[in-house]
């Protein structure tokens, strides 16, 4: 099973990414990638972040996860058409499968990850 060198399923200690080419390369080469778009000024984002981290750690540990600060990386935000925060984008095998913005239900997020995660990572 392929496990990339970046940290998996950890948003609290998640590696920030600020280079569009590097981000595209990760999306194209990794089996599963979760992008968490936020900023330091978003209080809702700060509350949601540990919940997403816990979900990934407990149920989807092989997902690669990255944090994108929309204030520091407006080009990346624009390229992915992220205009509100928090926004979560989930890619499986290079294709965007799920997008949630603003009001994000943890139950809905978990349900949308389960099936593709099982098919790709639990072969």
Closest Cα partner for 70 from 60, 52, 53, 85?
85
Domains recognised in the chain with CATH numbers: 20-121 (3.40.30.10)
The pLDDT tens digits for 11-33 are 344 678 888 999 999 999 999 99
State yes or no: pLDDT of 6 exceeds 80: no
pTM here is: 0.85
What is residue 103's predicted lDDT score, i.e. its pLDDT?
A: 87
The pLDDT tens digits for 41-81 are 999 988 898 888 889 989 999 998 998 999 999 999 999 99
Closest Cα partner for 77 from 43, 27, 36?
36
């Amino acid at each position: 099973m392929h496990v990339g060198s970046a940290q998996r399923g950890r948003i609290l200690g998640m590696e920030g990414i600020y280079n569009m080419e590097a981000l595209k390369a990760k999306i194209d080469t990794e089996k599963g990638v979760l992008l968490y778009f936020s900023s330091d000024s978003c209080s809702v984002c700060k509350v949601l972040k540990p919940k997403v981290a816990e979900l990934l750690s407990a149920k989807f540990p092989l997902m690669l996860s990255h944090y994108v600060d929309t204030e520091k990386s407006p080009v990346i935000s624009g390229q992915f058409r992220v205009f509100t925060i928090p926004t979560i984008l989930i890619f499986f095998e290079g294709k965007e499968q799920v997008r949630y913005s603003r009001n994000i239900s943890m139950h809905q997020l978990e349900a949308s990850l389960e099936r593709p995660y099982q098919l790709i990572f639990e072969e």
